[in-house]
Amino acid sequence: MRYNRVYKGLIELVDIFPKDLLEEILGILNFDSNDWRDNEVGPRNRLEINIYDLPVKEKIEIFLKQCDLIESEEFVSSIMIWEDKELVDKKPFFISLHIDPYKLIYKTIQIYLNDNNCPGSVWFNTGVYHELSSKLAPTPVVDTDAVVYETDVQDSYEIYSDQWGDQTLIGQKDGHEIKYGKNRGYMLKNSLINPLPHAVPHSSKLESRASLYIIIQSPEYEDWLFQNEDAPIGGFRIDEDLPLKYKRKK
C-alpha cells in the first residue's frame, strides 16, 4: 500500500487492499444475481449494492484499523459498491463540482475496482472553494451548476457554470487527479470550514466505473450532529453549508 498526501484531509491510496480481500470484493461486484439499485442523486447513471450486512464489511473495517486509516473509535456506518455508466443520451458519466457537506460526510474512502478507461476524480484546494462559492448560486447537495473539463495542460482544469444550458467559463484552476485504476482511490477526512471541492470531469473516456464507497463515523462526530441537527445540510456556498456560529461576517 502506498499513500500520497494531496491536500490537508485528502490522501491518495494505491494498492490498498491485499489480494484476498480485493478478490472477495470483486466477487461481490461480479456476482450475477446482485440486487443493483438506482442511486438517484444528480445527473448521473449510478447503480449501487449495499454490502453493509455482508461479512466482508467487518473484514474491511478491521483491515482499515490495522492500517491506521481509521481510528480505533471510528466505525464504518455505510458501505456500498457503485457502478457508473454513461448517461442515457450517450454523454459520458460525470459529477458536477461539489463539496461533501460536513453534516453528511465526516470521513469517506472510495476505491476503484477495475482498470477501465474512464476518469477518476479531480480535487481542488480550499481556496478554490472560497473563490467559486461567491460565483455560484446556492444549490442542493451535489447538483451544482459547475462542471469540470480536462485541458491539454497537466493538472489544469476548466470550470464552467450551467450544466445543461449555455456554458460560461468561470475559471481555469490547478487541481489534482485521483487516477482511476483497480485497487486505488482516496480517503477524505472532511472539514467543516475548509472543505475540498471535487468532481468527476467531463471526459472522452466512456467505459463504466466501478468502486467501493465507505462512509466512516465516530462518537464525537455523532455528538456534533446531535448538537447541530437543525442546521442546513447545504450545497456549495459557504453560508449555506455552515451552522450560524461558523458563518463569515459580511
> What is the pLDDT, as a whole number, of residue 164?
57
Highest mean pLDDT among 36-45, 135-144, 149-158, 232-241: 149-158
Q: Are 185 and 13 in contact (CB under 8 A)?
A: yes
Q: Which grid coordinates belong to 100?
A: 461533501
| Domains held by the chain: number | 1
**Partners of residue 102 on adjacent β-strands:** none
Query: Any idea what the CATH number is for the domain that residue 25 is in?
Result: 2.60.120
Instruction: Determine how many CB atoms are found less than 10 A away from the CB of residue 178.
Output: 23
Structural domain containing residue 17 = 2-246
Q: Are 44 and 93 in contact (CB under 8 A)?
A: yes
Q: Which helix (H) or strand (E) holds 20?
A: helix 19-29
Confidence check: pLDDT of 151 > 60: yes
Q: Are 204 and 90 in contact (CB under 8 A)?
A: no
Confidence check: pLDDT of 162 > 50: yes
pLDDT band at 248 (very low <50, low <70, confident <90, very high): very low
Q: Which long-range contacts (CB under 8 A, 24 or more apart) does 33-39 make?
A: 36/83, 39/82
Tell me the pLDDT tens digit for each residue of 178-220.
999 999 999 999 988 788 999 999 887 778 899 999 999 999 9
Spatial distance between the Cα atoms of 35 and 49, rounded to a whole number of angstroms: 6
